[in-house]
Structure 1
Amino acid sequence: MHIAMSACLALAAIVTPASAQHANLDPRTAVYELRTYYAAPGKLAALNARFREHTLKLFAKHGMRNVAYWNEQPTQEHPDGRIIYVLAYPSRAAREASWKAFVDDPEWRAVAARSEADGKLVAKVDSVFMTMTDYSPKLTLPR
């Protein structure tokens, strides 16, 4: 949970005026999803490349707000490293609809198949849903 706390603290540090916020996603009522991808052995670089070159654009295409992404440096407990990121949605129902559309997208399926031609990139995924507290600093979500 230490990394989850660090991610939340880093997220709370992103502060700018409310006028810069996306019109249809209120940071105070949004649902945030903290996702942790445990890279398969030797696959962290390929997983980062897939996010960088394809996944973020496809997330945005399907209404998921990319908030921030981190790499945890390899540790004894997680020698292959992890990608930790936060997405935001207007509601939990919107999250479910966005993920269904993303998973069903032929473009995503092609990207996943190409990137996993030599084996799976992800060994495990953890997901935590969060809502902002009333005392959190104002957050500007990336567009």
Structure 2
Amino acid sequence: MSYPIDRRAVLAGATLGGMTLASAGAQAQARSAAATPEIYELRTYHLVNGSMRARLDAYLRDAFMPAARRAGCGPIGVFAVSIGPASPSVLVLIPHPTLADFAALPARLAADQQHGQAGAPFLDAAPSAPGYASLDVKLMRAFPHMPRIEVPAGGAARLFELRTYFSPSDKTGATKIEMFDTGGETEIFRRTGLTPVFFAQDLTGERLPSLTYMLTFPDLATRERNWRTFGSDPAWKRLIATPGLTDPEITTGIDNSILGPTPYSQI
């Protein structure tokens, strides 16, 4: 059974720089309430060791990303799997303003002469030397109160963590989204050093319902330390112990990968 989340009870006494987490969350929600959530396209290019990676990098860097930005997409993230089941592969995160913009992108790319010229070695690759082994595409919709990607500050090496939570029903999936979006979990993330890039509901996938989010850290040691801090946080312990919000009630599993950004990634 799912119960409404009492944010005031869960977050009582937790502070962020002198401001209650509930107040900080309310302010963030007010700022983003008027924004339309982005649609995220997550492409996973599965590769074979060898020359595929170089051809794909050249296409993404010199042809696809400039053309996609001209078409109104972005910022675009490009990541290689460092730790996870999909290696070797390259993940491309493409924010679209709307679902219609996602649907229109192939035609816009086809009409973009610069894209066709710069991308010719990849787009016209012979079957004997393909640009990739296979391609998976997942569509997601940003959470209402985090409707845009938050690009981390540049100038330093970073890693990214991509996590997908699976739920046993639409109702429990909506409850898990509520925990993040308005129930206080995102505020606890931020306070304990789990810096989000995006949160999104999965619109397509093999194990729906599910949600996906991305975090960023300066290094693996910081990631391990901050996850431990999160796990021992009193507000998190109260939230996860709330009847109707425990993991066995609303999640059936988690997929997790550690990603490294390419030198040309915009995220």
TM-score of the aligned structures, taking structure 2 as reference length: 0.42
Percent same amino acid at aligned positions? Answer: 23
- Of the three residues 55, 62, 75, the one matched with 2:185 is 55
Q: Report if aligned partners of 1:40, 1:122 keep a CA contact under 8 Å in 2.
A: yes
Residues 38-67 of structure 1, C-alpha deviation per residue, up to 9 Å, x if partnerless?
A: 113230110011011211101101111110
CA distance in 2 between counterparts of 1:118 and 1:30 reads 29
The residue number in structure 2 matching 1:132 is 261
The residue number in structure 2 matching 1:70 is 200
Structure 1 stretch 31-40 or stretch 119-128: which is displaced more? 119-128
The residue number in structure 2 matching 1:85 is 213
The structure-2 alpha-carbon separation of the partners of 1:117 and 1:127, relative to structure 1 and needing over 3 Å to count, comes to closer
Q: Report if aligned partners of 2:156, 2:218 keep a CA contact under 8 Å in 1.
A: no
CA distance in 1 between counterparts of 2:43 and 2:256 reads 10
Residue correspondences, number: 127
Counterparts of 1:13-28 in structure 2, within 5 Å, are 22=153, 26=154
Counterparts of 1:113-124 in structure 2, within 5 Å, are 113-114=241-242, 115-116=244-245, 120-124=249-253
Residues 110-132 of structure 1, C-alpha deviation per residue, up to 9 Å, x if partnerless?
A: 10111426952111011100111
Counterpart AA for 1:59 = F
The structure-2 alpha-carbon separation of the partners of 1:62 and 1:27, relative to structure 1 and needing over 3 Å to count, comes to farther
Counterparts of 1:25-44 in structure 2, within 5 Å, are 26=154, 29-41=157-169, 42-44=171-173
Structure 1 stretch 50-59 or stretch 114-123: which is displaced more? 114-123
CA distance in 1 between counterparts of 2:149 and 2:247 reads 41
CA distance in 2 between counterparts of 1:55 and 1:69 reads 12
| SS of equivalent residue, structure 1 residue 78 | coil
Q: Report if aligned partners of 2:42, 2:94 keep a CA contact under 8 Å in 1.
A: no
The residue number in structure 2 matching 1:97 is 225
CA distance in 2 between counterparts of 1:35 and 1:15 reads 15
Which of structures 1 and 2 has the bigger CA Rg?
A: 2
Counterpart AA for 1:5 = T
